[in-house]
């Protein structure tokens, strides 16, 4: 769809009009333009362009690049309309470039309250913009929707779409155009949120409707909708309403013009364990579900819950693909969806009927999906960690996550990043008090590649209990497998698979009608494979970690491939050795390629690692108990952002300089570095708490310095392996 003389006409507006007169628009893949982050109506991430093909892709090189001016994670897929490329970046920045030359037309930086960073589990990312009616829509990290003039980048209107600023709500997903509204979700289920989606008027930004994922405390009065009254029956009346329930729909929101519905993927429960969230049990609707909403009213039309009573952080927020497919002899409009829980689902978009549910990784939380009821057959002995530590497959990182997959209609293949990994999960006894705008998940997670090494630091009885769990032997035999896979969605069978560098190496995928599959790796390479066979045809070393999905477009008869580059996202402090961001600066870039392009300049190398500086002496009165208390507070509040690794993109607190030690209270308690992304904690932590954390870090820095001096003596590298442990006590 191109610009018309009187402004931008969104593709969704045309197909919505077609639906209004009873037509069924075809699911056409993207061509010269790429009109949404998913490329087309169905978000297939597939292009019908063929100018770049197996015969000439060997000549693919850089056409132009743009420095985005940031150093954090990049997850957006760009949009191209009428020769202009629009994209988004860290905290909700937006950019416009001439798509052929790379000339910057404008850039926009929202005024973000960086205190919200305290409630962002998975980096200050943004997954894209929406373009319609002469406006570019982008949601900022702190929950403000901006409508920008597409020609100038000037703010046309802005709206605060956060319902309760006293809770941990934030925003990282792309907005979605649905007729005359723009629909947006929110994030924060690990904190203290009650999930919801919001629809704003395209022209004015006024609130049109809001749909909540979970009920509110029934003591506060009737629920907002009849559907929530029905959902309330699936919750314990004495649930942890103070924590909110979770369910935040942080990514998957897609408008389906063929049915006239907006389909939304909802998030995980909070706290993680059902027994703590809803002690009497229940399905806890509408957590971990796909729900279909009327874009005019926000009323729910159907729902399908993929993980009833979610106990494992199995969000259903992963990207959906709409297409048509012959299933059981009938041509149907379907949604393909592979959430965290390890299954690839096919549902009828008209009514949410389950057509297929095939496992694509190891799944010991369930013995399978009952095809008659659509419900999982739970396996409590294997995966119920509320009775003791368990190793659960898949891990909370998910078999699939936010990284977009692609559907190639010619081959019928679903191609995407798949992670086959588990994690050890355990929690402490009893209910914990609600912590406002702070982690309330009450669970500790250790991924299976790290389990055996981690057990050395636990009491022997705990290690013995873990080794007796049903999945322990499996975790030792095959801790993790990370691949780009081409899957037959009707059977779940893998047609081909290409290993990635490690479990943190996952990226979005583009396929084209010329038979190419294109994706990036956090190693810094862009890969081109043959879609039918997986044969590697071309790779380009960019020197920048790539997680976002590439896209393609055509201007002036020339086909281009564009991809955002920058390490970050979930687990962003833990930079693996194989990431390009480990040894090179994490300069965020937009990279655009064409046939006959040149070499890709690489970011500068990071300086050599030096021994940790000597820490100051401990304050008077600090004891071993103080340090132990500080360690618990650190892992409960700080470790999700501070990995304490030498190559982390957040400060390694084992290497604090004297000035940081001197100003520790001001940084932690008074927000001295809020604008740098370091929030203040004076509403959660006492001054004694901050001092205890500081004492732990001084002790840790001293031990680190001692260990590194020993390594230096014998010529060992200073950056030894470390564990990825996420916890909240």
For the segment 570-626, what is each residue's pLDDT rounded down to a tens digit?
989 999 999 999 999 999 999 999 999 999 999 999 999 999 999 999 999 999 999
pLDDT of 596: 98
626 vs 432, higher pLDDT: 626
- Residue with structure tokens 């969605």? 489
Whole-prediction pTM: 0.94
Across 1-5, 302-306, 436-440, which has the greatest mean pLDDT? 302-306
Residue 313 annotated to the active site: yes
According to CATH, where is 2.140.10.10 located in the chain?
11-595
pLDDT of 28: 64
d(CA 502, CA 483): 9
For the segment 274-285, what is each residue's pLDDT rounded down to a tens digit?
999 999 999 999
pLDDT of 437: 87
**Long-range CB contacts (within 8 A, 24+) of 13-16:** 13/132, 13/133, 13/177, 13/179, 15/41, 15/257, 15/258, 16/178, 16/179, 16/255, 16/257, 16/260
Report angle CA 274, 280, 283 to the nearest 5 degrees: 55
pLDDT exceeds cutoff 50 at 6: no
Mean of all residue pLDDT scores within the chain: 93
pLDDT exceeds cutoff 50 at 257: yes
pLDDT tier at 441, thresholds 50, 70, 90: confident
d(CA 686, CA 15): 56
pLDDT of 719: 82
Residue 58 φ then ψ, to 5°: -60, -20
pLDDT tier at 720, thresholds 50, 70, 90: low
CATH architecture of 11-595: 8 Propeller (2.140)
d(CA 292, CA 626): 51
According to CATH, where is 1.10.760.10 located in the chain?
624-726
Q: What is the dihedral sign for C-alpha 285, 290, 296, 301?
A: negative
Point out the catalytic residue in the list 180, 313, 384, 652: 313
Q: According to CATH, what is the number of the domain 624-726?
A: 1.10.760.10
pLDDT of 7: 29
For the segment 132-186, what is each residue's pLDDT rounded down to a tens digit?
999 999 999 999 999 999 999 999 999 999 999 999 999 999 999 999 999 999 9
CB-facing half-sphere around the CA of 116: CA atoms within 13 A: 24
At 532, list the tokens: 């039918």
- Residue with structure tokens 């095809």? 371
> 292, 262 in Cβ contact below 8 A?
yes
pLDDT tier at 723, thresholds 50, 70, 90: low
CA-nearest of 295, 129, 136, 146 to 211 is 295
For the segment 73-127, what is each residue's pLDDT rounded down to a tens digit?
999 999 999 999 999 999 999 999 999 999 999 999 999 999 998 899 999 999 9
């Amino acid at each position: 769809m191109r610009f018309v003389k009187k402004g931008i006409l969104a593709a969704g507006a045309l197909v919505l009009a077609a639906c209004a007169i009873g037509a069924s628009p075809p699911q056409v893949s993207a061509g010269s333009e790429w009109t949404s982050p998913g490329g087309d109506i169905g978000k297939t991430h597939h292009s019908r362009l063929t100018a770049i093909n197996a015969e000439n892709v060997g000549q693919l090189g850089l056409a132009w690049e743009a420095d985005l001016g940031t150093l954090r994670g990049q997850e957006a897929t760009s949009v191209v309309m009428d020769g202009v490329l629009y994209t988004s970046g860290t905290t909700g920045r937006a950019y416009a470039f001439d798509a052929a030359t790379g000339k910057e037309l404008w850039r926009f930086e929202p005024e973000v309250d960086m205190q919200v960073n305290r409630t962002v589990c998975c980096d200050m990312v943004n997954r894209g913009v929406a373009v319609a009616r002469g406006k570019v829509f982008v949601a900022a990290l702190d929950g403000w929707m901006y409508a920008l003039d597409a020609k100038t980048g000037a703010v046309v209107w802005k709206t605060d779409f956060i319902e309760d600023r006293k809770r941990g709500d934030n925003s990282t997903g792309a907005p979605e155009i649905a007729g005359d509204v723009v629909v947006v979700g929110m994030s924060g289920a690990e904190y203290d949120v009650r999930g919801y989606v919001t629809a704003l008027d395209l022209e004015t930004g006024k609130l049109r409707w809001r749909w909540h994922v979970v009920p509110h405390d029934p003591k506060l009065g009737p629920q907002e909708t009849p559907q929530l009254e029905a959902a309330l029956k699936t919750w314990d009346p004495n649930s942890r309403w103070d924590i909110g329930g979770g369910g935040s729909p942080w990514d998957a929101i897609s408008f389906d013009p063929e049915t006239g519905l907006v389909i939304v993927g909802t998030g995980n429960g909070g706290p993680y364990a059902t027994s703590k969230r809803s002690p009497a049990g229940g399905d806890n609707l509408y957590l971990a579900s796909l729900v279909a909403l009327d874009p005019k009213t926000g009323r729910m039309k159907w729902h399908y819950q993929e993980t009833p009573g979610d106990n494992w952080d199995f969000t259903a927020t992963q990207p959906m693909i709409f297409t048509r497919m012959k299933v059981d002899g009938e041509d149907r409009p379907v949604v393909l969806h592979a959430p965290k829980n390890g299954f690839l689902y096919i549902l009828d978009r008209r009514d949410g009927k389950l057509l297929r549910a095939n496992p694509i990784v190891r799944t010991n939380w369930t013995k399978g999906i009952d095809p008659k009821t659509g419900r999982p057959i739970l396996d409590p002995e294997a995966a119920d960690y509320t009775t003791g530590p368990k190793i659960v497959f898949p891990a909370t990182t998910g078999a699939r996550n936010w990284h977009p997959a692609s559907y190639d209609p010619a081959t019928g293949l679903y191609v995407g990043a798949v992670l086959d990994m588990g994690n050890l999960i355990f929690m402490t006894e009893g209910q914990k008090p609600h912590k406002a705008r702070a982690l309330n998940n009450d669970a500790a997670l250790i991924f299976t590649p790290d389990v055996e090494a981690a057990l050395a630091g636990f009491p022997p009885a705990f290690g013995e209990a873990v080794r007796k769990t049903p999945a322990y032997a499996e975790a030792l035999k095959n801790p993790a497998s990370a691949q780009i896979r081409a899957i037959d969605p009707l059977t779940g069978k893998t047609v081909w698979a290409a290993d990635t560098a490690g479990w943190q190496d996952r990226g979005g995928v583009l396929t084209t009608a010329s038979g190419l599959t294109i994706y990036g790796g956090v190693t810094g390479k862009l890969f081109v494979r043959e879609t039918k066979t997986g044969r590697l045809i071309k790779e380009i070393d960019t020197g920048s970690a790539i997680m976002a999905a590439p896209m393609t477009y055509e201007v002036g008869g020339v086909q281009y491939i564009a991809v955002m580059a920058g390490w970050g996202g979930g687990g962003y402090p833990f930079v693996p050795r194989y990431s390009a961001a480990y040894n090179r600066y994490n300069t965020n870039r937009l990279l655009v390629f064409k046939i006959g392009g040149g070499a890709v300049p690489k970011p500068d190398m990071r300086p050599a690692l030096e021994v940790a500086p000597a820490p100051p002496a401990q304050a008077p009165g600090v004891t071993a108990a103080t340090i132990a208390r500080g360690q618990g507070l650190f892992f409960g509040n700080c470790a999700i952002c501070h990995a304490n690794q030498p190559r982390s993109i957040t400060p390694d607190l084992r290497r604090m300089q004297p000035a940081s030690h001197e100003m520790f209270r001001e940084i932690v308690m008074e927000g001295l570095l809020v604008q740098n992304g370091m929030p203040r904690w004076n509403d959660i932590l006492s001054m004694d708490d901050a001092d205890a954390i500081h004492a732990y870090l001084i002790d840790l820095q001293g031990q680190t310095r001692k260990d590194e001096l020993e390594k230096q003596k014998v010529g060992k590298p200073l950056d030894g392996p470390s564990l990825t442990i996420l916890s909240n006590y």
